[in-house]
Amino acid sequence: MRWREGRSRLHHGRPAPVPQVRDRVLVLGAGAREHAIVQALARSPRAPELICAPGNVGIARDAAVRVLRPDDRGEVVGLARELRPTLVVVGPEAPLVAGIADALAEAGIRCFGPTGEAARLEGSKSYCKEVMVAAGVPTAAHSVVRTVSEGLAAIHRYPVVIKADGLAAGKGVVIAENEAQATAALRELLVERRFATERVVVEEHLVGEELSLLALCDGVNAVALASARDYKRIYNGDLGPNTGGMGSFSPVPAVDERRAQEICAAVHQPVLDELARRGTPFHGVLYAGLMMTEDGPKVLEFNVRFGDPETQAILPRLRSDLLKLLEAACEPGGLAGVGPLLWADQMAVTVVLASAGYPESFSSGDVITGLDRVPENVFVTHAGTGRGRGGELVTAAGRVLSVTALGPDAATARAAAYSAADMIRFDGRQMRRDIALRVAP
Ligand code: AMP
Ligand code: GLY
């Protein structure tokens, strides 16, 4: 509640207690990532008032929800003007690339997330490559091409990676094994224009373990969050088509806090410095998708926001106040004073439950049962859930729920996550059985 001017602030000749203005945070987005952000903010000692737009039926238990299209600048600024939040946190990339942070700044509202110009790092793969080369960040060798013949001429060996230049919801990357596949991929992107992109990045194929390393950035400093690994394919053993993410774990044992800061110094910091030099300082989460090659870590991509489902595994271990950190990142150089981040000395494992047909399609209206049996210490975050006609919880999209458990080691965390995930049932439920198996034999 905001404090209002009262009639008299004097009681018995003494000044009344100074009113505490409660923090009010507006989170934009509707997925399990945003639910994890809401849950982490709710753990802040400042107990902020939380509003999520549009949110979902699960988020509605932890925050007030408001109907809204997060990519619509007018709607977002309108709601922010009405609510006057002390902070807006943007979950997905599309509103950031569309310049939501700029629009909120113009309206005088503090926003955690990069400007539209800085968000081009995710919005355009060719721009991202240009910045990496200028910043001297290790990445795969590449060419930017505009025609199929230019593309084929740029290929020196197979497999080769072919990427659409613009946002493609994770579906714009093809690994071509031979010339026929490369030609088909180039034609699809440059002739059939599957993603309204005029340019394509043709890139060296890297081999190694993938790593997600997210850093909080205040325009000047990059502070690494705990390392994480996500699982993009639908089936066990990394088989089948790519999805939005079927599970994750954090931290990655080989990348402890010290190693994470080292990678951050070699990867995130030079990008931050380069963007500052260009006059577009980066505030928000800079997420590096890395390949740990024999020659060291190399960047596959940058995202300009929290990862999904990495965030569901990262934030439950954070013992520092997320609200304070996000606010500090909004101020130029603001993270310098926050000190080292504190983490629970535990492993977190996140398993995603998806509906039948995902990722090609999805099944809605399947009744979800068993959530009431999940133990208190397991974090359940909602993505594609909704209400059926009788008010029962039902599936409403491809990825339905994320289930995260912590444990003293990976095997214990895995067992707890799968035990809880197995309690939650709906027709056609899909989940991978091998999340974090590699680190918990
Ligand atoms: P991106 O959207 O650029 O992260 O690519 C999506 C996925 O494609 C990555 O998570 C990797 O699994 C794969 N990938 C992208 N670039 C490369 C590369 N240069 N070499 C090998 N795999 C890649
Ligand atoms: N976990 C992949 C992403 O958030 O883009």
> Is the preceding omega at residue 92 within 30 degrees of 0, hence cis?
no
* Ligand lying closest to the C-alpha of residue 303: 2
What's the CA gap between 376 and 405, in Å, rounded? Answer: 10
Q: What are phi and psi of 395, to 5 degrees?
A: -75, 150
Contacts with 255 (C-beta within 8 Å, 6 or more apart), sequence order = 211, 213, 227, 263
* Ligand lying closest to the C-alpha of residue 306: 2
What's the CA gap between 113 and 285, in Å, rounded? Answer: 7
> Is the preceding omega at residue 54 within 30 degrees of 0, hence cis?
yes
Q: Give the DSSP letter of residue 42.
A: H
Pocket probe for ligand 1: among 158, 161, 162, 163, the residue whose CB has the most ligand atoms within 8 Å is 161
Q: Which atom of ligand 1 is nearest to the CA of 163?
A: 3
- Nearest partner of 417 among 380, 385, 372, 384, judged by Cα: 380
Which residue's alpha carbon is at the smallest distance from atom 3 of ligand 2?
Answer: 307
CA of 195 to the centre of ligand 1 (A): 17
Which residue's alpha carbon is at the smallest distance from atom 15 of ligand 1?
Answer: 300
Locate 233 and state its tokens: 């394919």
CA of 410 to the centre of ligand 1 (A): 26
What's the CA gap between 22 and 34, in Å, rounded? Answer: 21
pTM score of the predicted model: 0.93
What is the residue-level pLDDT of the chain in tens, covering all 441 positions? 334 333 344 445 566 666 557 899 999 999 999 999 999 999 999 999 999 999 999 999 999 999 999 999 999 999 999 999 999 999 999 999 999 999 999 999 999 999 999 999 998 989 999 999 999 999 999 999 999 999 999 999 999 999 988 777 666 889 999 999 999 999 999 998 888 788 999 999 999 999 999 999 999 999 999 999 999 999 999 999 889 999 999 999 999 999 999 999 999 999 999 999 999 999 999 999 999 999 999 999 999 999 999 999 999 999 999 999 999 999 999 999 898 999 999 999 999 999 999 999 999 999 999 999 999 999 999 999 999 999 999 999 999 999 999 999 999 999 999 999 999 999 999 999 999 999 997
Which residue's alpha carbon is at the smallest distance from atom 3 of ligand 1?
Answer: 301
* Ligand lying closest to the C-alpha of residue 171: 1
Let me know: does 96 contact 118? Beta carbons within 8 Å: no
In angstroms, the Cα distances linking 228 to 170, 214, 215, 249, 395 are 18, 8, 12, 6, 27
In angstroms, the Cα distances linking 210 to 18, 115, 126, 296, 409 are 51, 28, 21, 12, 21
